Every structure is written in structure tokens, then in C-alpha cells.
Chain A
Amino acid sequence: MMVLSRLWYVVLALLLGISTYVVFLAVGEYDRRNGVAMEEELASDSQTVGWALQIDARKRLDALLIGAVDKGVQDSLQAAAGKDTIPGKAKEDGRRALNATMEKIPADFRPDILFEVDHDGRAVSQVGFDAANTFPDFELGGYPAVFDALHGYLRDDTWVLGGKAYRVVARPVEVDSTQPPLGAIVALKSVDKKFAADISKRTRANVAFFAAGQRIAAATMPGFDESKFTAVDSDMLSLATDKPYADGRSDFHPVGETLGAIYARFVGDAWDQGAGFVVVRSKTTIGGPMGFLNGADDKDKASVNVALIGGVVFLALAIGILLSILEQTLPMRQMEKQAGALRRGELDYLQVAKFRGGYRGIAENVNAGIERVLEKGGGAVRKPADLESILGPVPAQGAMSAFSFPLQDGAAAPPQAFPPPPGPPLPHPAPTSNPSSGGPPQIGGGPPPPRPRPPTPVGPPPPAIAAPPPAAAPAGPPNLSAPTAPVLAPMPLPAGAVPSAGGRPGGNFQIALDDSPDSVDGDGPTLASALSPTGVPIPPPRPAGAAPPVPPAGEDRTMASPFNRAKPPAPAADPAAMKLGMGAPGVPGARAGAAAGPVPTQTMMGMGLQAQAAAGSKGSDEDESTVIARAPSEILAAATGPAKAVNDETAEWMTVYDEFLRTKKQCDEPTDGLSFEKFQNTLRKNRDALVQRHQCKRVRFSVYIKDGRASLKATPVKE
């Protein structure tokens, strides 16, 4: 009950679990990949800033050419050359020349400080570094960049003067190519906020410059809070022990939980002064499944395929609702409908066939409850159709019957119908299991499946049949397979029966009711088979309380009757027969109690199934039915008057008789003693019984081969 719905819940739960798992995996993977990406971006940033500084130095060096060839600078240096004390005029001229040079240099590469240095390294003039004026003997010649420039080299450098970093470029100043350079012009660009912003803008990096362990300037890209660099200040202390940094560039430094940094050293004198720059990036982490929601912006949200999600939700919802409707609403509605019909008297029982799954079990239980209540109240109870009440006693086995069983001499015993026991329906006998194997209950050795089957409405209940007289049940050993079950009485052999020699009457045949779904009886499949020996007319239904016919003495055919009630214990039965639920062959009066499976609470269908199960040792699925097609209506309409009907029937039966004889011969069966009169008599009695039983107009008979033997099948026709 609700299997699919619950399965859907399981599917949804699994999907939810998988989705959660995937989300957590995605978070971890996103964070990890983001961390790797941040490291790569930082390495790229650091490299880019380094290249930007190189390019900047180159451009500044080139821009300084303006000062190197400036006439005023040259004259100033010329005036100071060779003098122990630099003339004041030379200083002043030099200062003016430097100012002019400063103005000529493009703004992007304009230095903050300009020096002109003579060949001894003395600062002749300067612009932008007035502190040097305090020291008349201020020099710059000891710096390698200036020294190189004085010796004819273009050179860049980075200085840290008083805690401030400067990017330095120097060029020689020449007047005569035959002489050493007259001096040098040196430009210093302070590494300050403006410089940092310029580098950051060019490189799109968050960069900070530091010297002597102190951050001296920083600039960030929009969206990055510069205050985050305070975390870098403390991390900078770890550079002293950072070996990669000693070689020029550090590895990735995680700064706190959300920052990453890579440090690089300045080239130049600042290399040894602990100066350099650091690039910083924020670490974008999700942190958890909800982080996706918190970190998503409008663009992210806009890119979500809402239609797809809606479709998935709708589909899941639709499937869930559909399954609940199929498994809960519809069955409940059906139950409600039938319950209402039951209350209004339109139904006596719930229609089990219209229920499925657990609801069918409920309906069956309700029907069983109705039966029990009716039974307690003394009302008429629907019970399985009593075959014997309709057809009369049948031989235990028919030689050609699908329900025939091997006799003692190996011949098949003819089927036999037994009158149902009189009185109320028998309760289900306890199932018996195979004593040798302990396996499941055997066919006929126990009751039908434990679940009670509600009776299928098949018409009025059969008349009660009196229990057979105890004398009819000869004493014998009890049935070992069902010791507690009543023992089958010997099969009565109706008068007129023509047994064949050796217990195998060649004229015996069986008539089986057509229970195929396309049966024209209008009731659908009901009676699976009816048994009757050939030439033995099927006895008419016995009135209530009538004793079943007693088989002739010496008759060795026995058959278990599912309707027999308590009977004397049967003699020891043949295990094979016992297994089939039939009386032991050759043991008169033996009755396989296990064959008494069908009980009054069993439906006709159940009986049929059981009869089919007991019909042959090769399995019930070998029972095949031959269906007589519905007679064309125009033919039926053409037939008028009872005489014509009788004649037609006789002609039809003759055809059937001929067909039957031909079939028997084909099957290499004896046909001695099987006259048309006997055949007709048998068919008539069967017809009468079936007409009464099914309230049909007539019965059609057809010939078919069952287990290599000719058999007859009766099909009630209502029209």
C-alpha cells in the first residue's frame, strides 16, 4: 500500500541527501580551487608589479636623458669640477638647470628629487632634497648607482634613506667624449602613496611597499579595504625566516582567514635593507552551503535558470501528487464508493477485484467480516458453488479426464464428482505440510492459501447436500498426508455406467465447463471443470439432505472430494495420490483428506483452481480450455420452436459425438460401448444440470484433447 508514494519519498530523500552532499562537496572544492586560484593570482600580481617597477625604472631612466644633456647642468658641473669647494654660482646654476629639467620630464615619470653630482661624487646641486643643504660636503658618490653613472653607465637602484624608499635612476653627464663623464644626474622617485597608486592602477593589484619592516605606502583596487593591510604588517615579521623571500620572492602567505600575500624584495641597495613590496588578495571562500546565498550578487541570481528549477520542482510535485492519487486517493475513493453502495444495499460485498494492493486485502477482510456476521446471524451466506450439487456424483477418475489419476494398475482413474457435504460450510482444514520435507503445504493436502477469499457472487447458493452415510465410507487406514481430514468415500458409480475392462472404460469421458474468460456464459470464468464419466449421466443436483450415491461394491476408483465432511479414516493412501490430494488409488473408500481443500468459504474460482491443481500431476497449467464461440445471432434467430431446437441440439450432439469418437480413435482410445444414446444421455443430463446451475438457455459441448485423451467441454450459453 502506498508503495510507489513511499518509494518516491525515498527517491526524494536520496536526492535531497545527494544534493546536500554535492553542495558540501562544491563548497569544499570551490574553496580549495579558489585558494589555488588566489595563490596563482597573487604570484601573477607579484610578478606583474615587479615588471611594472622595471618598466617604470626604464622609462624614468630614459626620461632623465633630458637632464643629462641639459646645458645648464653641464655648465654647472663644469664650473664645480676640480674645485675643492663648490662655487656658489655653480650650485645655483645647477639648481636652476635641474628645475628646468624637472619641468621637461613627462609628468608620469617626473622624479621627486634631482641631483647633479660631480666626478668626485659631490652633490653640486639638488632639487627636492633640501635637507642636503645642511651639509655643504654632502655626497652621493658612494652609492653604486652614482658610482656607475660617474663611470659611464645608465643605472637604476632603490634606496632607503631615513626610512623612506626611493626609486633611483642615474645617468652620466658628458661634455667631451674624449674625457670621462663630467658628472652624473641622479633622479629619485619617492615610493609614496602616489607611486603605489600608480603601480596598483597599472597592475590592477593590491600592493603595499615596505622598508625596514614598516609599511610605507599602499594602494588597492576598488573594493578592497586598505585597512586589511594591517594584518600584513604583523605577518611581515615572518619574512626574516622566509627562505624563498631571501631569494627575492616569498611563497604564498596566508594572512588570517581571508587574506593571502606574496612578498618580493626591491632590487638595488634596498635589497639588503629589507625593503620590498607585497601584493595582497582577499580569499573568497564560501564556508558553507549558505555562503552561496550570502555571496551571490544580483548578476549571479539573475543567471539562475529559474524555469528549470521550477520545472524540476513541479515535476517532483506532480509525480508525488500523482502517486498519492493513484495509491491513496483513488483506492480510498473506490472504497468510499463501494462502502456507500454497501450501505445503500446496492452491494452485498465489496468488489475485491476493483481494489489493488493493500486495499484489496482490506476489502477481502471486510467481505470475510460480512460473511462472519451473516453466519452468526443465521443469514444466507455466499459460499462456493457446490459442483456436485449441480452435476451429481462423478466418477473418481475419468480415463480421459484432465482430472484423471493413475489407478492401481497404472491406468488413469476417471474423474469423479462428489456431492458436497450437507450442512454449513466446512471450515478450512489446517494446512498440512509435507512430512518428509517439511515444505509447504501440498496441493490438496491442506487448505488453500491462508488468506481468506471472499466468495464471488456466482448465483444462488447451492442446495444443501446431506452428508453421505457413514456406511458409504469403508474403513481403511487413515490418510497419512492429512490424518485429521475426513476420508473420501468410495466414488459412487452412477447407474448406467459402462466401465471398461480393466477398470479403464473406453467409453468414459469427461465434460469440463468452459471457464475461459471469453466464455459465453456471461458470468465470466467461474467453474473450472465438471467431471463426469463417459456414459454415466451426471446426476442431477441432489436435494438438501440427500445422501450421495454409493459406488458399487468393488469399485476401485476413489477420489477426494473437497466437500466431504468427516468421514471414517481412509486406508493408507498411495503417496503419489496423496500428494495430489486424491484418495489412494485402489483403496476403496480411501479419501485423501488433504484433497478436501476447498471449503465453504472458498469461491467457485478457488474451487476451480484447486480442482485444476488437483487435476493432473503435471501441473495445473496444463489445463487448457477450448472455447466454443458465441453462436451467431442470426442463426439463433432463425431457429424457432422447441422442436427445431431439439432437432438442432440432437444434430449438434451427433456432430459432437462423431467428433468425440474420431478424437478418441485419434488418441488410440477404445470406443467400445460408447453409443450415441449413452453419449446423448450424458450430455443431456449435463446440459440440464448446467442450465439449472447457470440459468442458461443451452449448453454447448466441444471436443478437445486433454493429456492425449479425448475430452468434452461444456459451455453454458445464455443467449
Chain B
Amino acid sequence: MFVEAAKPEAHRFTWREPSPTVRAEFRALTANPSRDVCIAALSQSPPSNHDPILVRITGGRTLPTTLVVAPGQRLSFENHDPFPHRLFMVSSNTWKAETIDSNRHREWSAPPGAGRFEVKDELFPSVHSYIVVEPQTAAIAFPGRDGAFSFDLPAGDYTLRAYFDGKAVGKPLSVITKDRGPALDLKEPLAVSDATGKP
């Protein structure tokens, strides 16, 4: 989305120029893992009855911007801005634009089966989030500023997969957890992009 907004034809700016004191390598428009990347633990027998997941609306976007949920999972979009938002599900006849005042929330339940849903805001074009409904989703985690993430999973075989911009990125990573064992550290990182930075 930010790459698209950086194009002149998007009419999003009058002036956009690189700061001469910032090195070019830092000017690459890269996602913020803590905001834009979602790690999903996929399992053949995922647990059910998850609590609603809080999605904050603030800063011109939702946090997180990409979510991977199991069917039936409820989401609560909560407005943390001092002004209203009007979120809507793209191509949805049931979740149309509706005003969410400040400190208010609006819920959405993931439909059965796999799917990918796009959430936008009528009042803020920068709000552009994705919800991936994955039936095998057992748990999700969001990396911190340092990229670290953690799960609290029951014993079993899982596949860890990163999602960005509503799509799975990088290579999935298989892990086996044991019941009541010590914390399991990943022996290798979960790559979410190649060397060029592309997912």
C-alpha cells in the first residue's frame, strides 16, 4: 500500500523527496514486522473457541494490518483514534461501511472455510488490512521490534508461516511441540522475505 501511495499517479503528495542525510538503504519502503507481519501456527487439528482478537484502529491503519484466523474467529475492530472511522469489508454485502466512533468497536466473525478478506476505511484511504481465514490456524503471533515472536501452543505438530499483505510469505517452518516441556526455540529464523526484501 505504501509503495502504491509513493507513486505520483496516486495523487497522494505534492512534494516527496529523499532526505539527503538519510542513506539510500534506509529509504527502502519496508514493512514494520511488528505491525504488518502475522505468524500463524497451522495444525491439522486446531483448537476452537478462540476469544475475540482485538484489532486497533489508529494511526491511519489497523493493528495488525494482516491477520490469520480460523473460521468462526471473531474480530473486534476498536477505534483508538479521536475521530470516527468507517470500516467495511471489500466485496461484502454483510459487513458494509459503518461508523465506528472513537473508543468504539465493531465485530466481525470469520466465515467458514478458507478465505481472504480485505478491510478498508471510507474515511481513511491508508487503512487497508487483510484477514486471512485459514481453517488450520491454531494460533497467531506478531513479531516484536526485534522480530522475535512466541506462541503458547499445545503439544503437537505445527507449521509456522508468515503472512504479509494478506498473503503467505517466506518459507513455512515445521515445529513439534511437546506437552508441558520447556520453551522451544527455533533453530533457524522464519524468513519472510528474500535478500532483496521482497516477500
Binding site for B on A (CB under 8 A): 53-54, 57-58, 61, 82, 120-123, 129, 131-132, 134-135, 137-148, 151-157, 160-163, 169, 171-172, 174, 177-181, 212, 248, 265, 267-269, 271-273
In the complex, the answer to whether A135 meets B80 with C-beta atoms within 8 Å is: yes
> Most chain-A Cβ atoms within 10 A of its Cβ — which of B6, B13, B65, B123?
B13
Nearest A residue to B61 via CB reads: A142
Total chain B interface residues with beta-carbon distance under 8 A: 46
In the complex, the answer to whether A138 meets B59 with C-beta atoms within 8 Å is: yes
Closest beta carbon of chain A to B165's beta carbon, Å: 14
Known A120-B32, A155-B16; contact A144-B21, beta-carbon cutoff 8 A: no
Closest beta carbon of chain B to A267's beta carbon, Å: 5
Nearest A residue to B59 via CB reads: A139
Task: Report A-chain residues with C-beta under 8 Å of the C-beta of B84.
Answer: 162
Task: Report B-chain residues with C-beta under 8 Å of the C-beta of A147.
Answer: 2, 5, 29
> Bound complex: CA of A163 vs CA of B84, how far in Å?
9
In the complex, the answer to whether A135 meets B15 with C-beta atoms within 8 Å is: no
* Contact residue among A54, A140, A169, A177 (Cβ-Cβ distance under 8 Å from B21): A177
In the complex, the answer to whether A145 meets B28 with C-beta atoms within 8 Å is: no
> Bound complex: CA of A82 vs CA of B34, how far in Å?
12
> Bound complex: CA of A138 vs CA of B78, how far in Å?
12
In the complex, the answer to whether A144 meets B126 with C-beta atoms within 8 Å is: yes
* Contact residue among A120, A135, A138, A139 (Cβ-Cβ distance under 8 Å from B145): A120
> Most chain-A Cβ atoms within 10 A of its Cβ — which of B19, B62, B145?
B19
Given A131-B82, A152-B18, A162-B84, 12 other A-B residues pairs in contact with their CB atoms under 8 A: A54-B14, A54-B15, A123-B59, A139-B61, A142-B60, A142-B127, A144-B12, A151-B22, A155-B15, A177-B22, A265-B11, A269-B12
A-B pairs, 6 with minimum CB distance: A142-B61, A139-B59, A152-B22, A142-B60, A162-B83, A131-B82
In the complex, the answer to whether A154 meets B14 with C-beta atoms within 8 Å is: no
> Bound complex: CA of A181 vs CA of B30, how far in Å?
13
Task: Report B-chain residues with C-beta under 8 Å of the C-beta of A265.
Answer: 11
Task: Report A-chain residues with C-beta under 8 Å of the C-beta of B124.
Answer: 269, 273
Known A267-B13, A269-B12; contact A180-B26, beta-carbon cutoff 8 A: yes
Task: Report B-chain residues with C-beta under 8 Å of the C-beta of A212.
Answer: 123
Task: Report A-chain residues with C-beta under 8 Å of the C-beta of B123.
Answer: 160, 212, 273
Known A141-B59, A142-B126, A148-B16; contact A120-B34, beta-carbon cutoff 8 A: yes
B35: Cβ under 8 A from any A Cβ: yes
B47: Cβ under 8 A from any A Cβ: no
In the complex, the answer to whether A156 meets B145 with C-beta atoms within 8 Å is: no
Closest beta carbon of chain A to B170's beta carbon, Å: 21
In the complex, the answer to whether B59 meets A121 with C-beta atoms within 8 Å is: yes
- Chosen A-B contacts, 9 in total, with CB atoms closer than 8 Å, are A141-B32, A142-B35, A142-B65, A142-B127, A156-B13, A181-B26, A267-B13, A268-B12, A271-B11
Using a CB-CB cutoff of 8 Å, which residues 54-96 of chain B contact chain A? 56, 58-63, 65, 80-84
> Bound complex: CA of A129 vs CA of B83, how far in Å?
12
Nearest B residue to A54 via CB reads: B14
> Bound complex: CA of A134 vs CA of B22, how far in Å?
33
> Bound complex: CA of A155 vs CA of B34, how far in Å?
24
> Bound complex: CA of A144 vs CA of B6, how far in Å?
8
> Bound complex: CA of A151 vs CA of B13, how far in Å?
16
In the complex, the answer to whether A138 meets B81 with C-beta atoms within 8 Å is: yes
Using a CB-CB cutoff of 8 Å, which residues 39-65 of chain B contact chain A? 56, 58-63, 65
> Bound complex: CA of A154 vs CA of B26, how far in Å?
14
> Bound complex: CA of A420 vs CA of B84, how far in Å?
129
> Bound complex: CA of A172 vs CA of B18, how far in Å?
9
Nearest A residue to B23 via CB reads: A177
B179: Cβ under 8 A from any A Cβ: no
In the complex, the answer to whether B2 meets A148 with C-beta atoms within 8 Å is: yes
Closest beta carbon of chain B to A325's beta carbon, Å: 79
Task: Report B-chain residues with C-beta under 8 Å of the C-beta of A154.
Answer: 15-19
In the complex, the answer to whether B35 meets A141 with C-beta atoms within 8 Å is: yes
Closest beta carbon of chain A to B121's beta carbon, Å: 10
B111: Cβ under 8 A from any A Cβ: no
Task: Report A-chain residues with C-beta under 8 Å of the C-beta of B23.
Answer: 152, 177-178
In the complex, the answer to whether A140 meets B19 with C-beta atoms within 8 Å is: no
> Bound complex: CA of A687 vs CA of B94, how far in Å?
139
B180: Cβ under 8 A from any A Cβ: no
In the complex, the answer to whether A267 meets B12 with C-beta atoms within 8 Å is: yes
B187: Cβ under 8 A from any A Cβ: no
Task: Report B-chain residues with C-beta under 8 Å of the C-beta of A269.
Answer: 12, 60, 124-126
Nearest B residue to A135 via CB reads: B80
In the complex, the answer to whether A138 meets B60 with C-beta atoms within 8 Å is: no
Closest beta carbon of chain A to B146's beta carbon, Å: 9
> Bound complex: CA of A174 vs CA of B18, how far in Å?
13
Task: Report B-chain residues with C-beta under 8 Å of the C-beta of A139.
Answer: 58-61, 63
> Most chain-A Cβ atoms within 10 A of its Cβ — which of B1, B10, B60, B80?
B60
Nearest B residue to A157 via CB reads: B13
In the complex, the answer to whether B15 meets A151 with C-beta atoms within 8 Å is: no
B27: Cβ under 8 A from any A Cβ: yes
> Most chain-A Cβ atoms within 10 A of its Cβ — which of B6, B26, B30, B63?
B26
* Contact residue among B19, B35, B103 (Cβ-Cβ distance under 8 Å from A121): B35
In the complex, the answer to whether B15 meets A58 with C-beta atoms within 8 Å is: yes
Closest beta carbon of chain A to B171's beta carbon, Å: 26
> Bound complex: CA of A143 vs CA of B5, how far in Å?
10
Nearest A residue to B15 via CB reads: A156
> Bound complex: CA of A113 vs CA of B118, how far in Å?
32
Using a CB-CB cutoff of 8 Å, which residues 99-145 of chain B contact chain A? 102-103, 123-127, 145
Task: Report B-chain residues with C-beta under 8 Å of the C-beta of A248.
Answer: 11
> Bound complex: CA of A134 vs CA of B58, how far in Å?
12
> Bound complex: CA of A271 vs CA of B56, how far in Å?
24
Nearest B residue to A142 via CB reads: B61
In the complex, the answer to whether B82 meets A135 with C-beta atoms within 8 Å is: yes
In the complex, the answer to whether B34 meets A153 with C-beta atoms within 8 Å is: no
> Bound complex: CA of A608 vs CA of B61, how far in Å?
123
In the complex, the answer to whether A137 meets B126 with C-beta atoms within 8 Å is: no
> Bound complex: CA of A572 vs CA of B1, how far in Å?
127
Closest beta carbon of chain B to A181's beta carbon, Å: 6
Task: Report B-chain residues with C-beta under 8 Å of the C-beta of A142.
Answer: 35, 58-62, 65, 126-127
> Bound complex: CA of A267 vs CA of B7, how far in Å?
12
Closest beta carbon of chain A to B77's beta carbon, Å: 14
In the complex, the answer to whether B17 meets A137 with C-beta atoms within 8 Å is: no
In the complex, the answer to whether B17 meets A143 with C-beta atoms within 8 Å is: no
> Bound complex: CA of A273 vs CA of B62, how far in Å?
18
In the complex, the answer to whether A153 meets B125 with C-beta atoms within 8 Å is: no
In the complex, the answer to whether B27 meets A151 with C-beta atoms within 8 Å is: yes
> Bound complex: CA of A146 vs CA of B145, how far in Å?
18
> Bound complex: CA of A265 vs CA of B59, how far in Å?
23
Known A138-B81, A139-B59, A141-B61; contact A148-B6, beta-carbon cutoff 8 A: yes
In the complex, the answer to whether B126 meets A151 with C-beta atoms within 8 Å is: no
> Bound complex: CA of A121 vs CA of B80, how far in Å?
14
In the complex, the answer to whether A120 meets B35 with C-beta atoms within 8 Å is: yes
Task: Report B-chain residues with C-beta under 8 Å of the C-beta of A267.
Answer: 11-14
Nearest A residue to B6 via CB reads: A148
